[in-house]
Amino acid sequence: MDPNEFGTSTIPLQHVPYGPITVEALKGKNAGKISVVTGAAQGIGAAIAESLAKSGAAVAIVDLSIDKQKATQQACASHGTKVKAYACDVSDQEAVVKTLDGIEQDLGPIDILVNNAGILVQRPLIMSDFDSFWKQIEVNFKGPLLTIHTLLPRMRDRGHGCIINIASRSATVDVPMTLGYVTSKAALTRATHTLQREMALEGLDSAIHLYALHPGGVLTGMGASGAPKDVQEKYGDPKDEEFFKSLFKDPPVLCGQTCAWLATGEGQDLRGLYIDCRQDVTRLLEKGREVLLQEKRNVLTVNFLDGYENEP
């Protein structure tokens, strides 16, 4: 993959929390709200959970193991908010419903849902075990749809809610050897667009707001693992590990603070859109929702030859 293929921003990107998304700016703004973060044991998920706690929200953290979430739980609790850990496989419908029911019994009705849990296998489809490939779809796409399917009717009945789906730059580009990941993230981004339109049908377009959020270039264990040895032996490794590490410039807290800001509702004009957390939200808001929608900004789309349109 050549990063130059996808272009380089001429407007400086943000690599640390700034202006409206700093801890100071968001202090207490999510007080009284109940939040859920999946994939919260480490990395981006842990940062999201702690940022929500810093903004005043009670936090339910969810991962495959409760023990692996101890550090996240302690970090959240240090900010004086309620926090409780739950073990759940997000691709298991029965487990998801049971877990979310338990959270609402323990903490109260859920106001904020962050679907962060995800997995990545770097292997071309032709060399993949299909079950391993499909597991990425199960966790990265089916998992968020299960949590949304469970909670959305409850949010509808209460008349409010915020859902943040952690997407990826990979949803918008073609990256060989990551078919399961790019496909599932593209599907999740498209689902976010469509679900927001369904909220409009319910008369709840601004009351329930959904976002597809790219967390930036975060060097996590998932992203830095590299392709398996047999794949490298067949296709080679065109770039060394240090080259790819240089592309990951963002700390997890940048995504965490962006999630906490979105949860406040201050970014509602960006609802239903794909957002890159490195791009200043103030600049996006200044563009205006009407213009963003009219010009099809921040949505998955197809560019045809001039004169051809994507007719129904």
* Active site residue ranges: 181
Residue with the two structure tokens 């292997």: 123
Angle, CA of 130, 134 and 135, to the nearest 5°: 120
Please tell me the distance from the alpha carbon of residue 27 to that of residue 233, in angstroms, as a whole number.
51
Please tell me the distance from the alpha carbon of residue 206 to that of residue 236, in angstroms, as a whole number.
49
Q: Which of 283, 264, 276, 284 is nearest to 25 (CA)?
A: 264
Question: How do beta strands 83-87 and 34-38 pair?
Answer: unpaired
Cβ-contact 160, 263 below 8 angstroms? no
Please tell me the distance from the alpha carbon of residue 198 to that of residue 153, in angstroms, as a whole number.
12
Q: How many CA atoms lie within 13 Å of 123's alpha carbon, on the beta-carbon side?
A: 17
Q: Which of 84, 82, 259 is nearest to 162 (CA)?
A: 259
Please tell me the distance from the alpha carbon of residue 243 to that of residue 219, in angstroms, as a whole number.
12
Structure token digits, residue 169: 């730059």
What does the CA dihedral 155, 159, 45, 254 come to, rounded to 10 degrees? 160
Please tell me the distance from the alpha carbon of residue 275 to that of residue 215, in angstroms, as a whole number.
9
